[in-house]
């Protein structure tokens, strides 16, 4: 991922999809496409059909899923439910976004359409500004200093260094984060996952013994507007999805050997740890500082990059590979999860996986 | 964003200019932005203009802005609790951000929000400013 000025969005998706299908040696009966910004940034609708065209895949149905930067998780959920209903035996999910086809201020415009476009975006709010308000309230409530939050970026950069597909593969020092410029105070440049072009694909099948199993997929929404929230120090959509996923799959937070969470802004990584039960409320910065939380071995949005709607599919592949010890160091355990979130705590999808 | 839509702007003017919310006739819950149905199940909602004074709960100074706000950056964006308890988010103006703090009394003011290029719309709406000069 990164900046792919030389590739069109359909070709970029087709390239990874082709690899995933060849790797799985499966006949694909449907394609699920996760993309957040293909209309606004790349001026393309019906993306799935053009991806098929590039691969010469003939006639199969395509479904496009758009749930903002949570599109990836939602597309995986849709594919999973179709398999569970035995509508198909094997399907592919591809996530793709190319924000670098437009200028950075236009990227802010587009990302801001995940907020309420009439009452938040209109007045200048962006996801970053809402994350900043949440960070400020969290730090005050639990009496942390900014340096405590900046530990997130340090951990993410350390982990991203071991991810061959990460956007940034360089460890940083705490001072680098603390001295970086304000983007929306208290958040600084290193609190923001950089928007990047990228594509990821996976093949999901019923009745296969090889590969990693999806144990449960849970989705929950939080339709309360930002201004009417009761609490600004928690991710409500994730709490609901997590409770459902853990209960259904009969798994406890301590069984999770790897979690890829939606840390588009550092504070969301902190809040995700707490919502997932990987840290008690108000303690995540301490857990992060210890340095061995089983979270974002990919480097997260900060180091892997924020590929908007494609990110959930990246996360799915990352967790599968971490469980298998492929491309990543094998994690110590059999269970992993993906947290994919759209907007500022508007929708969360959890994919629970096991070996 | 370039070329904002006239119908979208026009239909939201009651909210942008006068903060017209919806109040449930049964349970009294107030919704801003307006909703079609109350959480209590009632669809009997009436227009209700929000109070124009309140206090600042929290704010941030945003430096990475969208294209509409390049000339105004940085933006001070805040969360305000109006008298009566309804919270509204919006821009905080006429104040040096370093002097702002939670609890400061603010009032609604009517301001220009977006100028859509040379030939596009000039759009207005509510913002908040401290009651006392800071």
Q: Does the residue B90 lie in any domain? A: yes
- pLDDT for res A76: 98
Range A13-29 average pLDDT: 96
Q: Which chain B residue lies closest to A183 (C-alpha atoms)?
A: B63
Instruction: Report chain B residues whose CB lies below 8 A from the CB of A182.
Output: 61, 63
Q: Does the residue B25 lie in any domain? A: yes
Out of A105, A121, A128, name the one closest to residue B62 (CB).
A128
Residue A20 near residue A203, CB atoms below 8 Å: yes
Does this model's pTM top 0.95? My answer is yes
Instruction: Report chain B residues whose CB lies below 8 A from the CB of A264.
Output: none
Q: Which chain B residue lies closest to A132 (C-alpha atoms)?
A: B60
> Which residues 6+ apart lie within 8 Å of A174 measured at CB?
A147, A150, A151, A154
Q: What is the pLDDT of residues B28-54, one digit of tens each?
A: 999 999 999 999 999 999 999 999 999
CB contact under 8 A, A124 and B58: no
CB contact under 8 A, B33 and A225: yes
CB contact under 8 A, B75 and A129: yes
- pLDDT for res A138: 98
Sign of CA dihedral B3, B7, B9, B10: positive
> Which residues 6+ apart lie within 8 Å of B94 measured at CB?
B109, B129, B130, B133
> Which residues 6+ apart lie within 8 Å of B62 measured at CB?
A124, A126, A128, A129, A132, A183, A184, B73, B74, B75, B76, B77
Does position A54 have pLDDT exceeding 80, yes or no? yes
Q: Does the residue B46 lie in any domain? A: yes
Domain range spanning residue B40?
6-130
Instruction: Report chain A residues whose CB lies below 8 A from the CB of B39.
Output: none
The pLDDT confidence band at residue A1, using thresholds 50, 70 and 90, is: low
Range A76-95 average pLDDT: 98
Angle at CA B44, nearest 5°, toward B41 and B49?
115
CB contact under 8 A, B66 and A126: yes
Structural domains present in chain A? 126-192+212-304+311-354 (3.40.47.10)
Q: What is the pLDDT of residues A108-147, one digit of tens each?
A: 999 999 999 999 999 999 999 999 999 999 999 999 999 9
How many domains, in total, are found in chain B?
A: 1
Q: Which chain A residue lies closest to B74 (C-alpha atoms)?
A: A184
Taking alpha carbons only, the member of A71, A82, A73, A66 closest to residue A31 is A82
Does position A63 have pLDDT exceeding 70, yes or no? yes
Phi, psi of A88 (to 5 degrees): -130, 160
Give the separation between CA A265 and CA A188, rounded to whole angstroms: 10
Dihedral angle at the C-alpha atoms of A125, B125, A39, A13, nearest 10 degrees?
A: 0
- Give percent of chain A above pLDDT 70: 100
Q: Does the residue B116 lie in any domain? A: yes
- If contacts are CB pairs under 8 Å, which of residues 58-97 in chain B contact chain A? 58-70, 72, 75, 77-79, 86-91
CB contact under 8 A, B60 and A184: yes
**Mean pLDDT, rounded, of chain A:** 97
- pLDDT for res A140: 98
Bridge pairing between strands A90-97 and A31-34: parallel
The pLDDT confidence band at residue A2, using thresholds 50, 70 and 90, is: confident
Phi, psi of B120 (to 5 degrees): -90, -160
**Cβ–Cβ contact B121 with A under 8 A:** no
Residue A121 near residue B62, CB atoms below 8 Å: no
> Which residues 6+ apart lie within 8 Å of A83 measured at CB?
A89, A91, A204, A205, A206
Q: Does the residue B1 lie in any domain? A: no
Q: Does the residue B49 lie in any domain? A: yes
Q: What is the pLDDT of residues A230-249, one digit of tens each?
A: 999 999 999 999 999 999 99
Query: What count of other Cβ atoms lies within 10 Å of the Cβ of residue A332?
Result: 8
Residues (pLDDT < 70) of chain B are: 2-3
- pLDDT for res B33: 98
Query: What count of other Cβ atoms lies within 10 Å of the Cβ of residue A107?
Result: 22
Global ipTM = 0.97
- pLDDT for res A3: 86
Give the separation between CA A226 and CA B38, rounded to whole angstroms: 17
Q: What is the pLDDT of residues A337-352, one digit of tens each?
A: 999 999 999 999 999 9
Query: What count of other Cβ atoms lies within 10 Å of the Cβ of residue A220?
Result: 18
> Which residues 6+ apart lie within 8 Å of A329 measured at CB?
A162, A297, A322
């Amino acid at each position: 991922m990164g900046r792919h000025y030389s590739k069109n969005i359909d070709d970029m998706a087709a390239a990874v999809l082709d690899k995933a299908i060849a790797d799985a040696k499966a006949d694909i009966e449907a394609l699920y496409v996760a993309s957040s910004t293909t209309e606004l940034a790349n001026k393309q609708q019906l993306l799935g059909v053009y991806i098929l065209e590039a691969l010469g895949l003939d006639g199969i149905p395509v479904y496009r899923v758009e749930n903002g930067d949570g599109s990836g998780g939602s597309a995986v959920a849709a594919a999973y439910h179709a398999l569970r209903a035995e509508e198909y035996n094997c399907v592919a999910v591809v996530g793709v976004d190319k924000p670098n086809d437009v200028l950075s201020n236009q990227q802010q415009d587009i990302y801001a359409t995940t907020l309420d476009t009439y009452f938040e975006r209109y007045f200048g709010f962006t996801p970053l500004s809402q994350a900043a308000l949440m960070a400020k309230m969290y730090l005050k409530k639990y009496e942390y200093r900014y340096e405590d939050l900046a530990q997130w970026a340090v951990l993410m950069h350390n982990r991203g260094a071991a991810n061959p597909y990460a956007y940034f593969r360089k460890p940083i020092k705490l001072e680098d984060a603390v001295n970086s410029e304000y983007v929306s105070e208290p958040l600084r440049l290193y609190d923001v996952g950089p928007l990047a072009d990228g594509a990821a694909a996976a093949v999901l099948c019923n009745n296969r013994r090889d590969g990693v199993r999806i144990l449960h997929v849970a989705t929950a929404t939080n339709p309360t507007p930002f201004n009417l929230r009761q609490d600004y120090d928690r991710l409500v959509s994730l709490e609901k999805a997590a409770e459902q996923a853990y209960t259904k799959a009969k798994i406890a937070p301590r069984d999770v050997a790897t979690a890829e969470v939606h840390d588009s802004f550092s504070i969301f990584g902190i809040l995700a740890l707490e919502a997932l039960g990987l840290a008690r409320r108000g303690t995540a910065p301490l857990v992060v500082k210890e340095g061995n939380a089983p979270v974002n071995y990919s480097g997260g949005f900060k180091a892997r990059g924020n590929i908007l709607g494609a990110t959930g599919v990246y996360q799915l592949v990352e967790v599968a590979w971490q469980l298998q010890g492929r491309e990543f160091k094998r994690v110590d355990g059999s269970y992993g999860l993906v947290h994919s979130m759209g907007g500022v705590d508007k929708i969360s999808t959890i994919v629970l996986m096991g070996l | 964003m370039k070329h904002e839509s006239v119908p979208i702007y026009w239909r939201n003017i009651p909210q942008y200019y006068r903060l017209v919310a919806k109040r449930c006739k049964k349970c009294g819950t107030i919704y801003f932005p307006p909703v079609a149905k109350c959480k209590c199940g009632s669809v009997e909602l009436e227009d209700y203009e929000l109070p124009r004074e309140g206090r600042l709960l929290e704010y941030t100074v945003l430096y990475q802005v969208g294209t509409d706000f390049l000339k105004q950056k940085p933006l001070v964006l805040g969360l305000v609790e109006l008298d009566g308890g309804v919270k509204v988010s919006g821009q905080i103006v006429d104040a040096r951000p370093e002097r702002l703090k939670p609890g400061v009394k603010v009032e609604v003011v009517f301001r220009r929000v977006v100028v859509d290029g040379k030939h596009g719309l000039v759009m207005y709406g509510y913002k908040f400013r401290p009651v006392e000069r800071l």
